[in-house]
């Protein structure tokens, strides 16, 4: 079920509620069941769905609603707000500070879209007038260095990496040191991913974090990974201080529910979504407009 489909299912359920002649417990239960089904088909975890249903039920007290109140509108608003809450941890997103070197560390599994998103974010800041640089600390994947170097050249962004350096911690340290000395305001460090969650990867991330002391750690997640999203996000969150999330490949046949799980696991805001393979395909994420768009 792709993003638009589960949005449509929730919209239809809300429309059915709005059009029903009477609003009673049965109407509400039916609505909640439909909303729950839609979220479940979008790969949102069952525990989150149950929590959301309870939150909605707690706010809709039909017996306490005075006659004449627009119950339908109130119910719609409660459902809408709860959907937004699923995507909004209520944390102000990190922002870089002028006059210093802001270090941003990227983490995520291989294939998530990390290297692509590093370039997209560097391009974003460069366009806004920040003096930006990128560092390749992925010494694990053959070709990672060449990929980031290629992107850097294309986006005309200074880049540090070494094909001969086999120690990712040393590469990250050196790159950050060089650009700090040069007075770069934004230094984005790309790290290795590996194919699956494994202790070596998390040890490496934690070591890099200790050495470069990032101002923000961005967790990158592929939006199409489904039910695995929560555990994956949690694994990164427990290894490093994840502060923001980027969800990639929202342009494809993504269900989008993984985004909700990533927020729940990391308690961090989604700052951008990736909407294509090209450098400008990065959109600022806003939970309210996302839900509005979702519900059409």
Q: Name the residues that contact ligand GDP, by CB under 6 A.
A: 108, 110-116, 193, 248-249, 251-252, 274-277, 281
Between 111 and 158, name the residue whose CB sits nearer to ligand GDP.
Answer: 111
Nearest approach in angstroms of CB 246 to ligand GDP is 9
Nearest approach in angstroms of CB 116 to ligand GDP is 3
Element (H, E) at 103: strand 102-107
Nearest approach in angstroms of CB 186 to ligand GDP is 19
Nearest approach in angstroms of CB 248 to ligand GDP is 4
Between 96 and 252, name the residue whose CB sits nearer to ligand GDP.
Answer: 252
Between 145 and 230, name the residue whose CB sits nearer to ligand GDP.
Answer: 145
Q: Please give the residue whose beta carbon sits closest to ligand GDP in the complex.
A: 274
- Looking at the chain, list the stretches that DSSP marks H as alpha helix, in order from N- to C-terminal side: 3-19, 25-41, 46-59, 71-87, 114-127, 144-155, 168-181, 199-212, 229-239, 257-266, 287-294
Which residues have a Cβ under 8 Å from the Cβ of 255 and sit 6 or more positions away? 1, 2, 3, 6, 41, 42, 43, 223, 224, 226
Q: CA 161 to CA 148: how far, in whole Å? A: 9
Find tokens 């949102």 and name the residue: 44
Between 77 and 278, name the residue whose CB sits nearer to ligand GDP.
Answer: 278
Between 185 and 204, name the residue whose CB sits nearer to ligand GDP.
Answer: 204
Give every strand in the sheet of 132-137, ordered side by side. 159-160, 132-137, 186-191, 102-107, 216-222, 242-248, 270-274, 282-284
Find tokens 């306490």 and name the residue: 64
Q: Is the Cα torsion angle 290, 284, 234, 223 positive or negative in sign?
A: positive
Nearest approach in angstroms of CB 68 to ligand GDP is 48
Nearest approach in angstroms of CB 230 to ligand GDP is 19
Nearest approach in angstroms of CB 52 to ligand GDP is 27
**Backbone angles phi and psi of 101, in degrees to 5:** -90, 115
Between 101 and 117, name the residue whose CB sits nearer to ligand GDP.
Answer: 117
**Backbone angles phi and psi of 213, in degrees to 5:** 45, 65
Between 53 and 120, name the residue whose CB sits nearer to ligand GDP.
Answer: 120
Between 141 and 173, name the residue whose CB sits nearer to ligand GDP.
Answer: 141
Give the residue among 79, 77, 64 at the shortest CA–CA distance from 31: 79
Nearest approach in angstroms of CB 108 to ligand GDP is 5
* Cβ–Cβ < 8 Å for 141, 159: no
């Amino acid at each position: 079920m792709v993003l638009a489909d589960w949005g449509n299912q929730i919209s239809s359920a809300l429309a059915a509620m709005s059009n029903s002649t009477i609003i009673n417990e049965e109407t509400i239960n039916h609505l909640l069941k439909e909303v729950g089904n839609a979220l479940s088909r979008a790969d949102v975890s069952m525990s989150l769905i149950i929590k959301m249903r309870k939150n909605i039920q707690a706010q809709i007290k039909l017996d306490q609603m005075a006659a004449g109140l627009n119950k339908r509108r109130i119910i719609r608003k409660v459902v809408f707000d709860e959907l937004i809450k699923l995507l909004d941890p209520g944390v102000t997103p990190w922002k870089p500070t002028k006059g210093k070197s802001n270090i941003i560390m990227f983490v995520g599994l291989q294939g998530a879209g990390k290297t692509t998103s590093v370039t997209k974010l560097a391009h974003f800041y460069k366009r806004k007038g920040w003096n930006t640089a990128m560092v390749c600390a992925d010494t694990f994947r053959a070709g990672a260095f060449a990929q980031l170097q290629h992107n850097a050249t294309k986006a005309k962004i200074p880049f540090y990496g070494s094909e001969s350096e086999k120690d990712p911690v040393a590469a990250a340290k050196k790159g950050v040191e060089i650009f700090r000395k040069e007075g770069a305001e934004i230094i984005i460090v790309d790290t290795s991913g590996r194919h699956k969650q494994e202790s070596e990867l998390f040890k490496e991330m934690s070591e890099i974090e200790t050495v470069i002391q990032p101002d923000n750690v961005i967790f990158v997640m592929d939006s199409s990974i489904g039910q695995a999203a929560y555990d994956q996000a949690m694994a990164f969150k427990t290894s490093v201080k994840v502060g923001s999330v980027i969800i990639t490949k929202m342009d494809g046949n993504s269900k989008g529910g993984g985004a909700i799980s990533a927020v729940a696991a990391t308690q961090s805001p989604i700052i951008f979504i990736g909407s294509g393979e090209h450098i400008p395909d990065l959109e600022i994420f806003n939970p309210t407009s996302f839900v509005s768009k979702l519900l059409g």
